[in-house]
A and B are shown apart, each in its own frame.
Chain A
Amino acid sequence: MVEQQAAVLSPEAMVEEFRKNGVTHVVTIPDSETNYLYELMQEQSWLDVVPASREGETFAIALGLIIGGKTPVCLIQNTGMMESGDSIRGMALDSGFPLVMVIGYRGWNRHGVITDSVARYTEPFLNAFRINYYLVEQDADSHRISVAFEEAKNTKRPVAILVGDEYHGFNR
């Protein structure tokens, strides 16, 4: 019998981190692994979910929201992050505002062989853009999300959260 992962990152922990850090908007493209997170976010009266058509939009929409005094988060998958390269450059890095980007780490695993190319290229992509990142796999790691918010605020740069529990906690 395959042993199941005991500790997971729950959607509630992620949403609580958003609330603690004053997030007003989540600009996102949902993926099949995060459907419960999407539903939970929509239930929060203090949070506005902004569905985008393509991941590159999310960083530009976030910039507009930031200029308007709001605190957005971009929530996308690593595949979409790569599609967003020029938007990350022009709308996030060049603008000089703090932004936390939450990235579903598709294909990543801690114990096995990573065969999905998107997982192999995710961290090199972030390193190429000089974007710092924190891996979050379970609720016990969720304090790192606040660390990312603090770092983004202090450096006025985007900081990434890599969600390494994509296939467990966010799907029920």
Chain B
Amino acid sequence: MIQSSEVFRIFQEHRGDAIVIPTGTSGRHWREFTTNESRDLNLGGAMGHTTSAALGLALGLPGEKVVLFDSEGALLMNLGILATIAGKKPENFCHILLDNECYATTGGQPVPNAQEINYAGVAKEAGYSTAYSFDDLEEFATNIEQIMQDTGPVFVSIKVVPEVENEPIGMRQRAPTRNRAETIRDLQSELGISAD
């Protein structure tokens, strides 16, 4: 398993101008490495539907590279989205799954069939153009340049170390960060999109 912060450290070197959507407990590390916050988007959550929103963004902005950092617990809530994405074939969409095999935000309980399921295999058979699977940081580092050049939809599954949270949500310390509305406003401003 790989530390998710290391995944983000290496990804940042190859990000270019991509719009990045981090999610889940692992995704919070992105803000330690991003150098272009106006192209980072917090889409919030709704039982796994951040993935769907990321697809909508990729369809709405076909000239922009869109990279989603998803989590396996969220994806399992709406696995059919893989077929939806594959059906629309967004060439600008890169779907990276940080798989920690558990619901880290609720205490670390395992997701269904955590160690057996092959997410990259599911995505590939659903119709993604390309699918990768990594459990080794060096191998990910070797392939990330190609991944960012591949025609989408591209799926990348990475086994990461769980960072389990046990405190009640209301008692957790939150680092200061922009909320969803602010990230949307900043992205639209960056892209010259009117909110009206």
Contact = CB atoms under 8 A, between A and B. Distances in A.
Interface of A: 25, 27, 48, 50-54, 56-70, 72, 86-87, 89-91, 94-96
Interface in B80-130: 80-81, 83-84, 87-88
Given A90-B46, A94-B44, A96-B181, A61 B56 contact: yes
B67 interface: no
Given A27-B56, A59-B49, 14 more contacts: A52-B52, A53-B78, A54-B81, A60-B49, A63-B56, A64-B58, A66-B56, A67-B56, A67-B60, A69-B61, A69-B194, A70-B60, A72-B56, A91-B52
Which applies to chain B's interface (DSSP): helix, strand, loop or mixed?
A: helix
B52 A64 contact: yes
Interface string B42-73: 01111101111111111111000000000000
Contacts, number: 116
B53 A60 contact: yes
Contact of A25 (B45, B59, B61, B191): B59
Nearest to B62: A68
B47 A64 contact: no
A54 B54 CA distance: 16
A60 B46 contact: yes
